[in-house]
Structure formats: structure tokens, C-alpha cells
Amino acid sequence: MPKMTMTKASKGNAKQFPVRVTTMDAELEFTIEPKTTGKELFDMVGRTIGLRETWYFGLQYVDSKDYVAWLKFDKKVLDQGISKESQIQFTFLAKFYPEEVSGELVQEITQHLFFLQVKQSILNMDIYCPPEASVLLAAFAVQAKYGDYDESTYQPGMLASDDLLPQRVLDQYQMTPAMWEDKIKFWYAERRGMTSDEAEMDYLKIAQDLEMYGVNYFQIKNKKDSDLWIGVDARGIGVYDRDNRLLPKVAFPWSEIKNISFNDKRFTIKNVNKKEPHFVFYAPKPRINELILELCMGNHELYMRRRRPDSMEIQQMKEKAMEEKARKQMDRSRLAREKQLREEAVREKEEMERRFLQMQDEVRQTQEALARSEETAELLHEKMTVLDEEARLLTQKAAEAEAEVQRIKLTAIKTEEERMHMEQRAHDAEILAAAILEDSENRAKEAEQLKDELMKAKLSEKAAKGKLLELTQTMSHTDYSTSIPSYPVLASDLSPTLQYVESGAPLPDGDIFSGNLDQLSLEMEKERREYLSKSKTLQDQLKDLKSEIQVLKVEDRSSTLDRLHDESMQRGDSKYATLRKVTANSAKARVAFFEEL
């Protein structure tokens, strides 16, 4: 935890006392004087952490008699049964809870502190959470801590060091840590796009529907001396069976309560209708009644406060929160646009590189085709030369044969036998001459064909050279050294209003965000409707998850609360349906029912 030290200004040589205050995410150290009041110390803590919604919180401590107590603001710190032997220890906690987190928690620091405290209460099993909902809440917690799931950087076991699920859940399933991580990772990936504060708020929206959320329990007895529990929360007072703190048997909303008091162990609650009987119960010790009274008074005051118009302070806080949300939305939109531009630049560069490689390949293929064309043309030229030479020789032989025929015809034949012999030789010579002539003609035709093929090869070579020139010119006019453009978020890029806020100066007149507030309100209302519409989907998904892990559940390891929760779900007794049912009868009937428990 971060550690900060603050010292209250002192006068003279008054003795000072060291104080340590532990919040959900920091440890603070102060020095107080004997006259320092609880309110002064509490205000120092609030100023240090930047908290304005202080009415939800208090300073809890263990007094010299080992009782858990809340520091009273109207008394001096050292006059409240606090041991002064060493450093005085306090814990800064939410003392009262809102009825509806999304509509009441204004500051992000308030929301964050509630998120941390509720998460810790669920993990410590002070708030019962069913297994399937525990997995979903763990995914929201991971999103709030790490941001969007990135498959390229996620490593198995990454969540192993995080405390994400109640031990009660881990104990009742035959599942390894890796199997639980896979379930959480699936839901974590589904949360992509959520900011940290959005994930924390959705966590609280789900958690506030848990039966034990925001309830302070105390053991009591009725007139029959039955062991019971009462629970004090934002809506009123509920009475619970000794073995079932999930759903109340009967409840009394703050709207019906006019007066609260106790005398020794007897605690009395009077109805606004004087004709209705008092609700009376008994605590084990007067000290318990004192703590019950303190919580009842604070919850009742906040209940009434919510039903009055917002004070000027609340209005200013809400307006500032809306402006901050508008600024953040604009920043997120700008960052999203810059990310989109970077991604488009990356894609464009990759496309250009792909085209470049493709063109390089085309150039290579064209060069190979050109080389083949040149080689073919050279071979054809050589072959044509050989054929021309063969044709010339054949023509020469034919001429010689013809001359021989003529010479033989002109030679005088002295005898008939010589003449016939010479005629036979002439006939043979004529046949040979005709064959040679025919062969010569064939060779001439073949030479002509080779000339055509050579012409085609030269044309192909010319076309290949032209394409190579075209590709070379295209590549010379294309810049393939394009790098991914960067889009830094500079201070000069920020809106003037944001710079004023960061510097601590007052906002200028005509704040550029004022025109966005109405639109933002509409967007918030749209978000609320969308959340309600998503609830059904979430419930269906939770049912599917429950079915998936049900086969790995070890039934004899289920806790009492798990069994009670499953039974209430089978009956259709949800948290809010039960609250409506246990407040439906008259106050007289409910008091009578309580006394008979």
C-alpha cells in the first residue's frame, strides 16, 4: 500500500500522538493533539485522499475493551477509549451503503473505495456470493486492474497471483487453478472496451444485488428469547433466522420508522403511525445497542436525504463529475480515433509491402520470361542457319544430279546394253534428284517456320522488356519506406478546459462542455436502459456457467449458505422479491410475526 504522512499543525509544546489510518489502498500517518476531535481527524483523511462524499465513511477501531467501534466526530479522539501506549490505529471504511450505486456514487474515488471494500468482503466471505457470480465478478475485477484482454500478451498463469475467488467456492469444486483461470479469462475477454471505472461500477451493480450486500448484522432476541439476527442497511431493518442471514423473515423500512431508542439491552423502534405497536428486541449488551442505534440513525438520515432535492454541494459535485466524464469520453474517443488511424496506417503499410513483394515477384517472373525468350530466339537463329546451309548443299547436289542426267543423255550409246544401262542409271539419278529436291523444299518450309517463330520470340522479348520498364517506373514512384505514423497526445492537443482544471484555475465562462451535459445525461440514461436489458443476458450466461461447473461440484462440500441460496432460487425468492413480500403486511402483523419467531 502507498504510505503518506500528514501532520496536524500544533501550537506550543502540546504533546502529540502518532496515528495510522489504513484505507483500502493506502496507509496514512498523522500526528494529533489531545484536543483533536474525531471530525478533525476524519477531515484530514478526507482531504488527503481527495474525498468529498464523506457521509458514507467512518473511522473504525478496536477500543481498550476489545470492542469494534466507530470514531465519534463530536468527541475528542483520545476520549473514546483509545489506547495511547503506541501508534493509534484506525481503518477508513464505508459505514453506510447507497441504495443504488450508479445513481448515488458521484466521485470516482468514492466508487473505487466501495469497489475495493465490497470485493474484499466477498473474498473474505463476509458477503455471500454464489460461485457463478463470483467468476463474473472476478472478470470485472481483472478488467479494472489490467485493462483489455490481449491474446498476444496474455500468458497462462497470469492471474495466479491475484486473489479472485472466495475460498468457499474453490473448496467445493474439483477444478484446478488453471481451470478456474480459463473460466475467468473467457468472461474477462468479454469485457473488452471497458475502462477501469466502468468495470468497477458494473462490479458494484452486480454486487449490490447480493443478499448480504451492505447489511450490518447483530445478534438479538425477541420476547420469546429466540436467537435471531437483525440486519441494518440502506432500506431499513430486517429480521433473520439464526441459521439464515440471506433473506429476512420480516422487515421494517425506514419510511415507517419515526423514533429509535434503547434502554440497557432493550431496543425500541416506534412507527410513524402511533396506533401501530412498537418493534422491540433485546441485544446481548448495551454496547451492541449503542452501535445498532448509531447505524440506524445514519442510515435513516441518508434514506431521508436521498428523497430530498440535492444540495448545492451535491449538484456541483454531479456537474463536475459529468464534465469529467465528458472530458474522459472525448479523450477516449480521440485515443480510439488515433488507435484506429495507427491501425489503418499499419494495414496500409502491410498492403504496400505486400504489393511491393508482389511486384518484385512479377519483375522476377518477367525477367525469367525475357531470358527464356532470348535463349529461344538464339537457338532458333542457330537452327535456321544450319537449315539454310543444308538447303544450300541439297540444292547444289540437285544441280549436280541434273547436270549428270544431261551429260548422260548427250553421251553416245554404242551398244544397246550400254544404252539400257545408261537409261537405268539416268532413271535412278532422276529419282534421286526428285528426292533431293523434295527434301530441299521441306527444309525450306521448316526454315520459313523457324523465321516465324523467331519473329514471335522477338515480339515476346519486346513485350517483356516493356512490362519490366513499366514495373520499374511504378516502383520508382512508390514510397515503400512508409513508417507507422505516431499520434502523440500532446498537452497542446488537450482542450482548454482540461488544462484549466489540471492547473487548478477556475473554469472559463462558456465552458465548452456545458453544451454536452444534456447529451451526456441522455447517454447515461441510455446506458442505464442498456444495462437493464443486458441483465437478462447476464442471468442466462450465469445459468450456463453454473451448468458447466455443476458436474465438477462436490455436493458434501457445499456450505449452508450455498444450500440456502439454491433453495431460495428454486422457490423464486430473489432479494428484492423477498423484501417486497416481508414488508407487504401491516406493521402490526409484522411485529406480531416477529414476536412469534
Q: What is the pLDDT of residue 396?
A: 86
What's 131-199 look like in SS3?
HHHHHHHHHHHHHHHHCCCCCCCCCCCCCCCCCCCCHHHHHCECCCHHHHHHHHHHHHHHCCCCCHHHH
Confidence band of 393 (pLDDT split at 50, 70, 90): confident
As a whole number of Å, the end-to-end CA separation of the chain is 46
Q: What is the pLDDT of residue 503?
A: 31
User: Is there a contact between 471 and 363 (Cβ–Cβ < 8 Å)?
Assistant: yes
Question: What pLDDT sits at residue 376?
Answer: 83
Q: Does the pLDDT at position 520 exceed 80?
A: no
Backbone angles phi, psi at 54, to 5 degrees: -75, -20
**250 CB-near residues (< 8 Å, 6+ apart):** 238, 239, 582, 590, 593, 594, 597
Query: How confident is the model at residue 24, as a pLDDT?
Result: 93
User: Which of 23-37, 94-108, 146-160, 253-267 has the least mean pLDDT?
Assistant: 146-160
Cα distance between residue 45 and residue 54, in whole Å: 10
| HSE toward the beta carbon, residue 183, CA cutoff 13 A | 24
Encoded amino acid at 316, one letter: Q
With a pLDDT cut of 90, the percent of the chain lying above it is: 48
Question: Mean pLDDT throughout 465-481?
Answer: 61
* Highest-confidence segment of 207-221, 355-369, 423-437, 457-471: 207-221
pLDDT at 510 over 90: no
pLDDT top residue among 414 and 55: 55
Per-residue pLDDT at 519: 55
Cα–Cα distance measured from residue 593 to residue 169, given in angstroms and rounded to the nearest whole number: 35
Mean residue pLDDT of the chain comes to: 83
Name beta bridge partners: 260: 269
pTM of the model: 0.70
Between 514-550 and 177-190, two packed helices, what is the crossing angle to 10 degrees?
150
52/316 Cα distance (integer angstroms):
11
Of 175-189, 258-272, 296-310, 408-422, the poorest mean pLDDT is in 408-422
| Residue 504 confidence class, pLDDT cut points 50, 70, 90 | very low
Q: Which of 11-25, 323-337, 484-498 has the lowest mean pLDDT?
A: 484-498
More confident site: 548 or 460:
548
Tens of pLDDT along 194-224?
Answer: 999 999 999 999 999 999 999 999 999 999 9
> Which residues have CB under 8 Å from 572's CB, separation 6+?
none
**CA-based nearest residue to 44, from 16, 79, 14, 19:** 19
Mean pLDDT check: name the lowest of 14-23, 232-241, 433-442, 529-538: 529-538
Q: Helices H, strands E: what count in the chain? A: 15, 13
Q: Tell me what pLDDT residue 331 has.
A: 81
Report which residue type is found at 529: R
Q: What share of the chain is helix, strand, coil (3-state, %, to 5)?
A: 60, 15, 30
> Per-residue pLDDT tens for 351-371?
888 888 888 888 888 888 888
Q: Which residues pair with 32 in a beta bridge?
A: 17
Instruction: Say if residue 501's pLDDT is above 90.
Output: no
Amino acid of residue 499 = Q
Q: Which range, of 103-117, 171-185, 479-493, averages the lowest pLDDT?
A: 479-493
Which pLDDT belongs to residue 513?
36
Q: How far apart are CA 189 and CA 25, in angstroms?
A: 26
Mean pLDDT of 222-249: 95
pLDDT of residue 475: 58
Contact between residue 264 and residue 199 where contact means Cβ atoms under 8 Å apart: no
Residue 9, all three cell numbers:
499543525
Predicted local distance difference test score (pLDDT) of residue 493: 35
In 3D space, the residue among 304, 308, 314, 296 whose CA is nearest the CA of residue 231 turns out to be: 296
Mean pLDDT of 29-45: 95
- What's the CA gap between 537 and 166, in Å, rounded? 24
Better-predicted residue by pLDDT, 404 or 296: 296
